[in-house]
Amino acid sequence: MRKRRRTPLTKKTRRKLSRGTRPTPRAKIPGEPQLVTIALEWFLNPDHLPIVVAKEAGFFREEGLTLSILVPTVPEESLDLVAHGKADFGVGEQTNLIKARGQGQPLVSIGPLLEHTVVCLMYLKDGPIKRLENLRNHRVGWPGLEIDLPILGTMLEAAGLTQDDILPVDVGFGLTDALLTGKADAVFGAFVNYEQVEAEQRGAAVECVSPTPYGVPDLYQLVVMTSDRMIRRQPELVRRFSRALARGLALIHERPTVALLMYLKANQSVDPDLSEKTFRATLPYFPKSLKQDPARWKAVHDWLHGRQLIEFKMPLPSLFTNAFVPKLPAISHTPSPISS
């Protein structure tokens, strides 16, 4: 669930991505890498560093894959792209995947990307909001995702408020800007590892309030997903993709400085100081394994059902799978931070 000040998109890139189409499929030539696509849920940022690092270190290439990264034009566009076969893999929030699955979209998580809750309500310490009760009749910016307001609603209830007591303002990607320019008195959907860091770098003193103490289960904040069709028809491709991604995660934990340099080299238009700060803040949230805990999936699923955000309960195996979790040895060499 976050305009973040991230890698800017050119007009040409926006036109290309807005079409939401993949390159025309072609026959696989023996010995030639197979093109696969992954759609992000947000602008490219350090949350996606394991994916970028796995690509830059050549891990996908060693699995016979060429990875193309698609950046969305609207938040969480990745769910539709994967569900409709316009991307092979995607990144999205666990809550949104469960909700989409309940609406009939054939999406399955194959592993976490951020393994704990980082979403929060963010407001200025010197602003009109000092505690949740102060949100009454104030503007709350959000990314326009349906799932966000009910999560915020759980927090509001703890303060004796309802969603009708606040003035929601759809600010799209621009959460930090909305808060700092006065378009909103608080924003929900900010990430403590990005928007908080970004706001503080811009000189603002902010407070971030997590939904976890207010009855929202600890989330797999971001997960990597694919479709039922991909798992059914190309399980070996999913396995190869998962191995490369897991190696990217391992490299981040074992060689964090090298991983950051790879990311910066591949994305030279980003602010290196902000990227380093957000990467350091994000590092504790990157998983060391793609294995997912059924109990945590059940807790989030049941919470969504209890909040009537999904109409019926679904079997857990339809939401996630550990079938592609690889067993990898420790990285014994330091790849050069060059593009592959």
Is 119-214 in the same CATH topology as 11-115+221-318? yes
Domain coordinates of the chain in residue numbers? 11-115+221-318, 119-214
Confidence of residue 148 (pLDDT cuts 50, 70, 90): confident
Please write the tens of the pLDDT for every residue from 63-77. Answer: 999 999 999 888 889
| Predicted pLDDT at 145 | 80
pLDDT at residue 76, as a whole number? 86
Residues 298-340: tens digit of each pLDDT: 999 999 999 999 999 999 999 999 999 998 654 544 454 433 3
pLDDT for 328 equals 65
Give me the pLDDT at residue 186, please. Answer: 97
Predicted confidence (pLDDT) per residue in 33-57, tens digit = 999 999 999 889 999 999 999 999 9
The radius of gyration computed from the CA coordinates of the chain, to the nearest angstrom, equals: 20
Q: Indicate if the pLDDT at residue 127 is higher than 50.
A: yes
Homologous superfamily (CATH) for 11-115+221-318: Periplasmic binding protein-like II (3.40.190.10)
- Superfamily the domain 119-214 falls into: Periplasmic binding protein-like II (3.40.190.10)
Its pTM stands at: 0.86
Q: Give yes or no for residue 24 having a pLDDT over 50.
A: no
pLDDT of amino acid 30: 59
pLDDT grade for 27, boundaries at 50, 70 and 90: very low
Average pLDDT, the chain: 89
Q: How high is the pLDDT of residue 147? A: 80
